[in-house]
Amino acid sequence: MTDTPLHLGKSYPRRDALEKVTGQAQYVADTDLPNLTHGRIVRSPHLHARILRIETAEALAVPGVIAVLTHADIPGAKIYGDLLPDRPVLASDKVRFMGEPVAIVVAKTRQAADEAHKRVQVTYEPLPAVIDPFAAAQPDAPQVHENGNVLSHFTVCHGDTAQGLAQADLILEETFHVPRVYPAYLETEASQAVLNPNGTLTVWVSSQKPFHDRHHIAAAVNLPEEQVQVCVAAIGGAFGGKEDANMPVLAGLAAYCTRGAVRLVNSREESMLAHPKRHSGQLHYRLGAKQDGTITAVEITTHLDTGAYASYGPAVGQLLTEVAAGPYRIPHVRSETFVVYTNAPIAGAMRGFGAPQANFAIESLVDTLAHRLGLDPLEVRRRNIWRPGDFNFTRVRVNQAESTSLALETAAQEVARLKALPASPGKKAGVGMAMALQTMGLGWGVPDDSTNRLEWQPDGQVLLRIGAPDLGQGLNIAAAQITAEALGVDLSQVEVAPINTLLSPDGGVTCASRMTYMVGNSSMLAAVRLIDMLKEEGARLLGVQPDQLEYRGGQLLRLDQPHLPPIPAAEITSRLAEEGRALHSTATFSFPYGPEIPTDLGIGMPHVLFCLGAQVMRVEVDSELGSVEVTHATAVHDVGRVINRAALEGQVEGGLAMGMGFALSEDMILKANGQWVDGLAEYVLPTAMDIPGEVKIILLEQPESSGPYGAKGIGEAVTAPTAAAVANAVFAATGVRVHAAPIRPEMLIRPA
């Protein structure tokens, strides 16, 4: 390792950037196949209904139609799911949400498929539906599944909250509501598949987890996994929403059953209805504190709306349970979470995975506490935040707990700076802040590995095969930088291969703020191995002992004969190629859990690495209209070590914008006419015009000892605190405490 880094911290442009902005990138929908046919999914128009009959004759009669597939046509597993197999590939007896796939029409043209999909006649008997998680958890609620609506229930206790609350001078009891947020990637879900002449299946996906997809596709069509090849196309955003095998499975099924090539591309409406959202729900808090602001206890009861099928709901519930008390040393904590089935769209993984919801509640509540005690919110946080050596209430020692106070004090300076700015005429200005708390990794007991492979090619280029895709966040460039750093070579010498399950190692799912950390670590291990192998092969070919060679910057130096010119790696690898051999190494990094980790909380809990930070927002609220403008935002995040500065800043800006949507405008609601908001005219995403005029990014670099060059995750921590910081700023400006996101102007003005 060199002292001055070659590549770390540099803003190398992402290699896919130019392709994407010039329209060259090959998304699933751009990848043409010979004799391509088109699928169109027939979806449930009901929230909840029994299927009495499916008639396909009229659809089959449409010219160009090749097949209409229903559950009866599925040769293999008819049900799938990553955590819990509860999701029908195609609905059979019942539909449980609006947009649920019931059949697939395959036709020679997209037009014929569109036309025929309207002619598949499904006879439904509508059933009572429930779309509120609290109501759904009650015994008399309509039953979404046979075994009751409470999908999972977690309680983590620490200390004795009754005792803690008894010690309090003040007890706050408040309920918060959080919205159903759509990930809103530019590229809707798409997949295409072809059944090859040899009976194997090739499937192109826009997915966060190609190897899981392969598993579910193979099961559905009854092929061994080795006979299913999954290729990852360019991905136009994912944010957790593409941890859903639905489209890959349906495309694979359609190609298999029609013995051809089939493309499936969702419309925006289909994407909104039928693919995972961030969980909406309600969070009930009882928090006790002393007069001086010291929190003595907190009791939390959360009901999350997981929609009709499990997806990643239980895991989201676990993560929320763990972070619901915030980055605070609270002696008595009880955190209880119900993940509840409803007839709403499926909720699953989405950026933050439970943390944004919890953060909105706890960080709003801490501000309320300060207000009620007549204290500065910063002071209340100072009194309660984690200190070095602290354990959280799941009995995990907090990594770099000192970054909590570092982030808080950095934010405090920003609060002071922004408070000094005068309000515009007719506006009320306010500054608010919130701490960021996000976990990294999949949680104890969940297999959490990253395997990567390095191939030193005869031409001297190093090919990096990552096992989990870059979703657009810049994973590939970060991984290339870390690899080039570890090998001491020029960045242009490292190439990242596209993912293909035949050639790439299985790297699991791109998720959980874990990629730079996991892929980085595994690439570094693979690089060390590759260097050793190069020395070994070099020694053999040169007829010297390996210890007579020293590796430096992509070359071997002869220690025995220092006057000889260094030998480039390409010389060794090309000679190996002549022997029909290749130089490659594979390494697996597994998420580290120390022996002292509590293992009694259940698989998936606890998480042991935390991403810490704080955000500060300044808002101006129109006194008469209640409209909120975020004028300034400061994001303070401990990232361990910056790998690619531009990509990192992109994550912060994008994450903050996403957090602003959650705070101010995004909610997928059921309209008075019984239809969901399912288009981008009514589902209001922030645009460039809504982003604060000043976005200041302050990156703290407190190295994570287990991270590659000290790096840790950032992808989610940037979204978690935004909504609470906005809500706290709105309170500072108006004196109105909102308990629900998104904050609507009507909440902030007295009725006419």
Separation of alpha carbons 431 and 733, rounded Å: 7
* Options 24, 111, 155, 175; binder of another protein; rule CB under 8 A: 111
**Nearest distance in Å: CB 271, another protein:** 14
Q: Site residues for another protein, window 452-471 (CB under 8 A)?
A: none
The nearer residue to another protein, 45 or 745, going by C-beta atoms, is 745
Residue 684 touches another protein, criterion: CB under 8 A? yes
Q: Which of 669, 695, 697, 736 binds another protein (CB under 8 A)?
A: 669
Among 292, 490, 682, 694, binds another protein (CB under 8 A): 682
Q: Rounded to a whole number, what is the distance in angstroms from the first to the last CA of the chain? A: 67
**Which 8-state DSSP code applies to residue 503?**
T
The answer to the question of residue 629 lying near another protein (CB under 8 A) is yes
Nearest distance in Å: CB 485, another protein? 41
What is the C-alpha separation between 6 and 527, in angstroms, rounded? 15
| Closer by beta carbon to another protein, 295 or else 743 | 743
Interface with another protein, residue 203, by CB under 8 A: no
Each residue 570-609 as x (binds another protein by CB under 8 A) or -, in order, gives ----------------------------------------
Any idea which residue has 């602001």 for tokens?
293
548 or 627, CB closer to another protein? 627
- What values do phi and psi take at 656, rounded to 5? -65, -40
Q: If binding is defined by CB under 8 A, does position 625 make contact with another protein?
A: yes
CB proximity list for 84: less than 8 A, separation 6 or greater:
151, 310, 314
The CA angle 614-620-622, to the nearest 5 degrees, is 145
The two tokens of residue 440 are 């990294």
Please identify which residue in 665, 719, 722, 728 interacts with another protein, judged by CB under 8 A. 665
Contact 302, 324 (CB under 8 A): yes
CB 265 within 8 A of CB 282: no
Binding mask 719-748 for another protein (x = CB under 8 A): -------------------------xxx--
Q: Is 270 in the site for another protein (CB under 8 A)?
A: no
Interior CA angle at 620 toward 615 and 623, to 5°? 145
Nearer to another protein, 111 or 222 (CB): 111
Among 672, 703, 727, 743, binds another protein (CB under 8 A): 672
- Shortest separation between residue 625's beta carbon and another protein, angstroms: 6
How many other C-beta atoms are found inside a 10 Å radius of the C-beta of residue 330? 22
Q: Cβ closer to another protein: 579 or 746?
A: 746
Q: How far is the CB of 256 from another protein (least distance, A)?
A: 29
Give CA torsion, residues 219, 222, 228, 230, to 10 deg: -30
Count helices and strands (H / E) in the chain.
17, 28
Pick from 345, 505, 613, 686 the residue near another protein by CB under 8 A.
Answer: 686
Sign (positive/negative) of CA torsion 649, 654, 656, 657?
A: positive
Residue 624 binds another protein (CB under 8 A): yes
Does residue 22 touch another protein according to CB under 8 A? no
Q: Which of 627, 696, 702, 740 binds another protein (CB under 8 A)?
A: 627
- Separation CA 336–CA 103 (nearest Å): 39
Q: Does 689 bind another protein (CB under 8 A)?
A: yes
Taking contact as CB under 8 A, which single stretch among the options 236-244, 303-311, 315-323, 671-679 is the one that binds another protein? 671-679
Q: State the Cα–Cα distance between residues 175 and 157, nearest whole angstrom.
A: 20
Q: 736 or 749: whose CB is closer to another protein?
A: 749
Residues 230-259: x/- map of binding to another protein (CB under 8 A)? ------------------------------
Q: What is the DSSP string of 154-180?
A: EEEEES-HHHHHHT-SEEEEEEEEE--
Nearest to 103 by CA among 93, 117, 115, 113: 117
305 binds another protein (CB under 8 A): no
Considering only 156-164, 173-181, 679-687, 700-708, which stretch makes contact with another protein by CB under 8 A?
679-687
Checking phi first, is residue 640 left (phi over 0); if not, alpha (psi -120 to 50) or beta? Answer: left
Q: x/- site string to another protein, residues 115 to 154, per CB under 8 A?
A: x---------------------------------------
Which is nearer to another protein, 310 or 748 (by Cβ)? 748
The string of DSSP letters for 430-446 reads EEEEEEEEEEESS-TTS
Dig out the tokens for 668 from the structure.
Answer: 């997928």
For residue 20, which of 474, 465, 515, 350 has the smallest C-alpha distance?
474
- Ordered DSSP codes for 37-102: EEEEEEE-SSSSEEEEEEE-HHHHTSTTEEEEE-GGG--S-SEE-SSS--EESS-SSEE-STT-EE
Using the structure block, give the residue that is written with the tokens 């910056």: 642
Answer yes or no: are the C-beta atoms of 469 and 235 closer than 8 Å: yes
Give φ, ψ of 313 to 5 degrees.
-50, -50
Cβ closest to another protein, residue 155 vs residue 675:
675
* Single-letter amino acid, residue 291: Q
Using the rule CB under 8 A, give the single segment among 198-206, 602-610, 684-692, 710-718 that binds another protein: 684-692
Q: In the complex with another protein, which residue's Cβ is closer, 110 or 383?
A: 110
CA dist 198 → 153, 231, 257, 660 (Å): 47, 18, 15, 51
Establish if 495 lies at the interface with another protein (CB under 8 A).
no
Report the distance separating Cα 378 and Cα 409, nearest Å.
Answer: 9
- Span from 55-63, 109-117, 230-238, 493-501 in contact with another protein (CB under 8 A): 109-117
Cα separation, 546 vs 540, in Å, equals 8
Smallest gap, in angstroms, from Cβ of residue 689 to another protein? Answer: 3
Residue 55 binds another protein, judged by CB under 8 A? no
Rounded CA-CA distance 733/415 in Å is 13
CB of 205 to another protein, least distance (A): 25
Least distance between another protein and beta carbon 658 (Å): 14
Residue 317 or 654: the one with the smaller Cβ distance to another protein is 654
CB of 359 to another protein, least distance (A): 23
3 binds another protein (CB under 8 A): no
Among 35, 687, 693, 705, binds another protein (CB under 8 A): 687
Q: Does 677 bind another protein (CB under 8 A)?
A: yes
Candidate ranges 187-195, 348-356, 569-577, 623-631; the one touching another protein (CB under 8 A): 623-631
Segment interacting with another protein, rule: CB under 8 A, options 85-93, 290-298, 676-684, 702-710:
676-684
Kindly tell me which residue out of 449, 536, 571, 690 binds another protein, with binding defined by CB under 8 A. 690
Min CB(745)–another protein separation in Å? 7
* Count of chain residues binding another protein (CB under 8 A): 28
Q: Which of 196, 599, 671, 674 binds another protein (CB under 8 A)?
A: 671
Cβ 384 vs Cβ 399: under 8 Å: no
- State the minimum distance, in angstroms, from the CB of residue 238 to another protein: 24
Q: Is the separation of the CB atoms in 223 and 200 below 8 Å?
A: yes
Nearer residue to another protein within complex by CB, 21 or 681:
681
| Closest-CA residue to 150 (of 285, 300, 280, 317) | 317
Q: Is 752 in the site for another protein (CB under 8 A)?
A: yes
Binding positions for another protein, rule: CB under 8 A: 111, 114-115, 624-625, 627, 629, 665, 669, 671-672, 677, 679, 681-682, 684-690, 744-746, 749, 751-752
